Amino acid sequence: MTTTAEPEVGRARLRKEDARLVTGRTRWTDNLTLPGLLHLAFLRSPVAHARITAVDTEEARRMPGVIAVFTGRDLAAAQGSLPCAWPITPDQKAPPAPPLAVDQVNFAGEAVAVVVARGAAQAQDALVGIDVTYADLPVVLDLASAAADSDLVHPDLGTNRSARWVFDSAEAGTGGDVDAAIGAAEVLIERTYRQQRLIPAFMEPRSVVVDPTGEQLTMWSATQIPHILRLMLALTTGTPEHKVRVIAPDVGGGFGGKLQVTPEEVVAMVVAQRIGKPVKWTETRSESLLSAHHGRDQLQKLTLAARRDGTVTGLKVELLADMGAYLRLVTPGVPILGAFMFNAIYKFPAYRFECTNVFTTKVPTDAYRGAGRPEATYAIERLMDELAVELGRDPIEVREQNWIKHDEFPFTTVAGLEYDSGNYEAATARAKELLGYDALRAEQRERRARGDVVQLGIGTSTFTEMCGLAPSRVLGALSYGAGGWEHAQIRMLPSGKVEVVTGSSAHGQGHETAWSQIVADQLGVPFEDVEVLHGDTQISPRGLDTYGSRSLTVGGMAVLKAGEKVIKKARRVAAHLMECAEDDLEFAGGRFTVRGTERSTGITDVALAVFAAHDLPDGVEPTLDSEATFDPDNFSFPHGTHLCAVEVDTETGFTRIRKYACVDDVGKVVNPIIVEGQVHGGLAQGIAQALYEEAIHDESGTLTTGTLADYLVPSAADLPHFDTDRTETPSTTNQLGAKGVGEAGTIASTPAVVNAIVDAVRHLGVNDVEMPCTPYRVWAAINGANPSTPSTTPAPGGGLGSVTPTEPTGGTA
Amino acid sequence: MIPAAFDYLVPSTVDEAVRLLADAGEEAKIIAGGQSLIPVLRLRLADPGKLIDLGRIPELRGIRDDGDAIVIGAMTTHYDVQRDPLVHDHASLLRLATDTVADPQVRHQGTLGGAVVHADPAGDLLAPVLALDAELVVCGMDGRRSVAAKDFFVDYFTTALRPEEILVEVRIPKHTGWGAHYEKFNRVAQAWSIVAVAATVRAENGVITDARVALTNMSSIPVRAHAVEAALIGGPASPGAITSAAAHAAEGTRPTSDTNADSTYRQHLARVLTSRALTAAVGA
């Protein structure tokens, strides 16, 4: 009997995890309560740069419910230094990064002391009883002057420049000499773009619970990376790795913001060990905005060389990247992840990338959705529009002239990557159709001719990204401190149900559903009979967690490989039970059938027989359970074409997205609903960078966008309907044919929106608007006014606009 | 975040509320709908020792017809204001502005009186109250008194309310048959106004016979655009007349600079938005 059920892979299943997530009937870290649980509250520095000359905790210690108060000095010996896993150069400069500041604070919001109290409110109350004396040091805020070493963040390092990293296609042998290309260029486009500082703003605040009372210390944390965290906690605190268990229960979003070993996690662990009691810390929203790592923040100096006929001959990229005050887990590597992507989908013959990582007295930066690749895509896609304008050509036509044609794959790029597959022509044609490109161009001409107050602009963005982080040997070549493999285990239960253990650590991605679909097809068992286990180092002992659009292409592949081993083991037993040769068996729809006969047995029957172990071939262990660790040979390269039409009110500068159409090629799709959700969420975040979000500091280094009233995260009301579609060109770098989708929307949408805005008002003399393209900035660009942020300080009016969380003054209500 | 501890007092009459307030003195804070105060408490920007909740005083809630005026109880929610037929018929400017306040959840909790007393110059209900020449009826230990809206707003978050007084009613002269529009400008849907314009206009036979225009967030308090009103009254309800009247909108204003706008841009917006508000009000 052969099952002819509809394949699970490709099916638009609702996510099995959503019922509990959407209704909140689950255990987030903050919901956990242990007997005798104590609560932590952190005192944070209100100043950006200062020596700590004295800390007096006496009054706080005497306050109701307070068990203990610790300063950085109290914990100095135990707390270690927060890890950075990615030294990008051998001579990279990095300061010590104590979880609690000891002698000096280097950003406003840095933790300087921690209160332990019986109740969370009592811990919070006691913070006012701690008196810290600061001796101010000069703040270092501006990236360019920081790079010039005007004032030093860490005087002991002697410079603010942490590292300089260069890729040159002539030196690498992957292309020509870019300076020669620039020298011979018929057209030169030189631009400087700013990637503003962003805040990941995940929905669930960070939270950590530590129980030190067992033989193993257990940490629950709202983290993307339980496995990496476990290792890093051991290395940081000296507690042996086998004495630490980390659990990431359901986690409410991360976007890279929870790809971190946080000061609070380390302090919670050290404090719990010190007092021998379980402790909990959950941040407030303002604390999150103020102290969790930020993203982006680069200054990009770009030179594009081309011939008059539109052929690009070279690209030179000089970056300044703001590290903030410290190097966190992968801080220095974020711009490097962009280094291979500036050439994007194009056949540039010469390329040079040079990045200088710079310290400032701001919150450390680190991974944020796309990490390096959105920055690169923004730069090149803005430049391609500028080139088209310079040549008087259609921007899509100029792109097509330079991109890799579908019959040219596999293609080795000027950055040395081998793109396996793609079809940029097909995606672009479909996107144009979805947008109604030609009709909108006609309307644009009509509105321009009429001098309409509301002008229409169309922005194009194509993209590819390196997904499926990552082949371990490549990470090694880039000096990253770990590999890029992923692990999975499949356990066949006696009743025929299946447990899948994965090292991927979902925090909203829907792995439980997607992995179940893969395994259901592979083993021929019902979708409902598969349980996916993850996020606990005791259940899922090996893993490298979830980030960089890697889970399906690496973690999903590990699941597939483990499944292959299960089938192989089962085949041997099935052959034995049916008294035939293994080669005579076909496996399909969950059954082994003796070729050419009606005789068959199900894999679940084999599982039961193996459990009983009464009749197994000699030398066969009584288990079908199998594990696999998959290390990819290459990245995968999703791509897409995004087109955005905006209406710009030229009187007010307000931008309204009229229509957004995108066609992504993420390879073979396991679950179209999950893909659609990832694209929508990604678009929201990418559009947010273009229009809304920016972390702003005042001249004293205080974050003035310290609440969601000032840090503008768009809601559904601010976003248009998205017209999405897909082309499906399977990846050839993995058996699933999948490419990764987690970051696609974020990467492609930002330049599409900004290109559209510039296109709408270019005839008014505008060739750039700095992000976020606020109404003020667009209006200023049209009117030749100063386009910088009018003030770094919120006005007294506007609700919470009057407050800075580190300076609880003001406020009458 | 967790607010500092406070005593929570729940009077059931206005007299009791006033007495509690007088007894408590400086350490007490009145809580109405709490949509501004609670975030401030949670951020620990204020830590009043006592909160006096007006939420259980029936006489403070509701809207009634009082001859030439409608009277809105201070604790009437935005949601109730939006749906009320008296407001619809006689003060449509207030209804239209209330439609733009935050989101449905906030509008079910927040109150007109709370918003007025909070006196955030970026709040959306101050300009309509000013434009409609409302009277704010307040009550203290010595009884009630009435303060004209033009005298009520003093500075950022500061009103003519004395420490022992509470706002009990907002009396709005009937503007029956007036066209109205509230033109709000902000970056995202759920945000305070960068600038907004409240306009209500009476026109007969194509001639503007009366006009009221007030501006949100163009000063530390809501301001009337008297020059615009003067330019409109007696003139035609035509696009040209509106545009030239709106050119006076920013006269005498000294708006602030913040992360969203500088004062020049705010003044420009005031002119543009006034023109749009008037165009809509005349057409309505």
Please report whether residue A301 resides in a domain. Answer: yes
3-state secondary structure chain B: CCCCCCEEECCCCHHHHHHHHHHHHHHEEEECCCCCHHHHHHCCCCCCCEEEEHHHCHHHCCEEEECCEEEEECCCEHHHHHHCHHHHHHCHHHHHHHHCCCCHHHHHHCEHHHHHHHCCCCCCCHHHHHHCCCEEEEEECCEEEEEEHHHHEEECCEECCCCCCEEEEEEEECCCCCEEEEEEECCCCCCCCCEEEEEEEEEECCEEEEEEEEEECCCCCCEECHHHHHHHCCCECCHHHHHHHHCCCCCCCCCCCCCCCCHHHHHHHHHHHHHHHHHHHHHC
* pLDDT in the model for residue A791: 86
pLDDT tens digits, A287-316: 999 999 999 999 999 999 999 999 999 999
Backbone CA torsion sign across A679, A684, A685, A688: positive
What is the mean pLDDT of the segment spanning A414-433?
Answer: 97
Instruction: Please check whether residue B269 touches A, CB under 8 A.
Output: yes
* pLDDT in the model for residue A4: 55
A677 and A765 share one domain: yes
Whether residues B256 and A780 touch (CB distance < 8 A) is answered with no
B58-173: CATH number: 3.30.465.10
Give backbone dihedrals phi and psi of B165, rounded to 5 degrees, phi first: -105, 155
Whether residues B188 and A718 touch (CB distance < 8 A) is answered with yes
What is the mean pLDDT of the segment spanning A265-293?
Answer: 97
All residues of chain A having their beta carbon less than 8 Å from the beta carbon of residue B122 are 795, 797-799, 801
Residues 6+ positions from B143 with CB-CB distance below 8 Å: none
Of B1, B189, B269, the CB nearest to A718: B189
Q: What is the CA radius of gyration of chain A?
A: 28
Instruction: Please check whether residue B243 touches A, CB under 8 A.
Output: no
Mean pLDDT by 10 residues, chain B (284 residues): 92 97 92 95 92 97 98 98 98 98 96 97 97 98 97 97 96 98 95 96 96 97 98 97 98 93 97 98 83
What is the mean pLDDT of the segment spanning A164-172?
Answer: 98
Longest dimension (CA), chain B: 61
What is the mean pLDDT of the segment spanning A58-71?
Answer: 98
Structure tokens at A613: 């172990």
pLDDT tens digits, A572-600: 999 999 999 999 999 999 999 999 999 99
A454 and A490 share one domain: no
Share of chain B above pLDDT 90, in %: 95
**Domain CATH number, residue A597:** 3.30.365.10
pLDDT tens digits, A664-710: 999 999 999 999 999 999 999 999 999 999 999 999 999 999 999 99
Q: Does domain B7-56 have CATH number 3.30.43.10?
A: yes
3-state secondary structure A453-465: CEEEEEEEEEEEC
pLDDT band at A115 (very low <50, low <70, confident <90, very high): very high
Whether residues A776 and B185 touch (CB distance < 8 A) is answered with no
Instruction: Please check whether residue B271 touches A, CB under 8 A.
Output: no
CB interface of A with B, residues 409-428, below 8 Å: none
Instruction: Please check whether residue A125 touches B, CB under 8 A.
Output: yes
**More confident call, A784 vs A155:** A155
Please report whether residue A262 resides in a domain. Answer: yes
* pLDDT in the model for residue A812: 32
Q: Report the alpha-carbon distance of residue A208 to residue A329 in Å, rounded.
A: 18
A304 and A277 share one domain: no
Instruction: Please check whether residue A509 touches B, CB under 8 A.
Output: no
* The last residue of a domain, from among A291, A314, A339: A291
Please name which of A9, A557, A451, A540 lies closest in space to residue A249, comparing C-alpha atoms. A540
* pLDDT in the model for residue A804: 43
Domain ranges of chain B: 7-56, 58-173, 179-283
Instruction: Please check whether residue B121 touches A, CB under 8 A.
Output: yes
Q: Report the alpha-carbon distance of residue A276 to residue A494 in Å, rounded.
A: 41
Most B CBs within 10 Å, among A127, A802, A807, to test the B interface: A802
A279 and A390 share one domain: no
pLDDT tens digits, A448-503: 999 999 999 999 999 999 998 899 999 999 999 999 999 999 999 999 999 999 99
Whether pLDDT at A2 is above 80: no
Whether pLDDT at A339 is above 50: yes
Whether pLDDT at A401 is above 90: yes
**Topology classification of domain B179-283:** Enolase-like; domain 1 (3.30.390)
A453 and A494 share one domain: no
pLDDT band at A24 (very low <50, low <70, confident <90, very high): confident
All residues of chain A having their beta carbon less than 8 Å from the beta carbon of residue B120 are 797-799
Whether pLDDT at A798 is above 80: no
Of B157, B259, B273, the CB nearest to A790: B259
What is the mean pLDDT of the segment spanning A20-48?
Answer: 95
Domain that holds residue A238: 32-137+203-253+258-291
Whether pLDDT at A409 is above 80: yes
* pLDDT in the model for residue A806: 42
Please name which of B200, B198, B232 lies closest in space to residue B217, comparing C-alpha atoms. B198
pLDDT tens digits, A544-553: 999 999 999 9
Whether pLDDT at A808 is above 60: no
A113 and A240 share one domain: yes
pLDDT band at A187 (very low <50, low <70, confident <90, very high): very high
pLDDT tens digits, A79-93: 999 999 999 999 999
pLDDT band at A813 (very low <50, low <70, confident <90, very high): very low
Q: How far is B121 from chain A (nearest CA, A)?
A: 5
Whether pLDDT at A258 is above 70: yes
Q: Report the alpha-carbon distance of residue A745 to residue A334 in Å, rounded.
A: 18
Q: How far is A429 from chain B (nearest CA, A)?
A: 32
Whether residues B189 and A704 touch (CB distance < 8 A) is answered with no
Are A503 and A538 a contacting pair, CB within 8 Å?
no
Whether pLDDT at A802 is above 80: no
CB interface of A with B, residues 687-706, below 8 Å: 691-692, 696, 704-705
pLDDT band at A807 (very low <50, low <70, confident <90, very high): very low
Please report whether residue A797 resides in a domain. Answer: yes
Please report whether residue A773 resides in a domain. Answer: yes
Question: In whole numbers, what is the pLDDT of chain A averaged over residues?
Answer: 95
Please name which of A378, A366, A380 lies closest in space to residue A334, comparing C-alpha atoms. A366
Of A125, A284, A813, the CB nearest to B36: A813
pLDDT tens digits, A340-359: 999 999 999 999 999 999 99
pLDDT tens digits, A610-624: 999 999 999 999 999
Q: Report the alpha-carbon distance of residue A49 to residue A150 in Å, rounded.
A: 14
All residues of chain A having their beta carbon less than 8 Å from the beta carbon of residue B157 are 796, 812-813
Which chain A residue has the Cα nearest residue B39? A800
All residues of chain B having their beta carbon less than 8 Å from the beta carbon of residue A30 are none
CA-based end-to-end distance of chain B: 45
Query: How many domains does chain A fold into?
Result: 4
Structure tokens at A326: 């410290």
All residues of chain A having their beta carbon less than 8 Å from the beta carbon of residue B4 are 125
List, in sequence order, every beta strand (DSSP E) within A278-384: 279-282, 295-306, 312-324, 351-359
* pLDDT in the model for residue A444: 98
A104 and A156 share one domain: no
* pLDDT in the model for residue B284: 52
A391 and A404 share one domain: yes
A772 and A812 share one domain: yes
* The last residue of a domain, from among A596, A612, A630: A630
* pLDDT in the model for residue B25: 84
Which chain A residue has the Cα nearest residue B118? A813
Q: Report the alpha-carbon distance of residue A27 to residue A17 in Å, rounded.
A: 13
A649 and A530 share one domain: no
pLDDT band at A811 (very low <50, low <70, confident <90, very high): very low
Which chain B residue has the Cα nearest residue A284? B1
* The last residue of a domain, from among A630, A647, A666: A630
| CA angle in degrees (0–180, nearest 5) for A29-A34-A40 | 65
Please name which of B17, B80, B87 lies closest in space to residue B52, comparing C-alpha atoms. B17
Whether residues A774 and B217 touch (CB distance < 8 A) is answered with no
Whether pLDDT at A104 is above 50: yes
Whether residues A801 and B4 touch (CB distance < 8 A) is answered with no
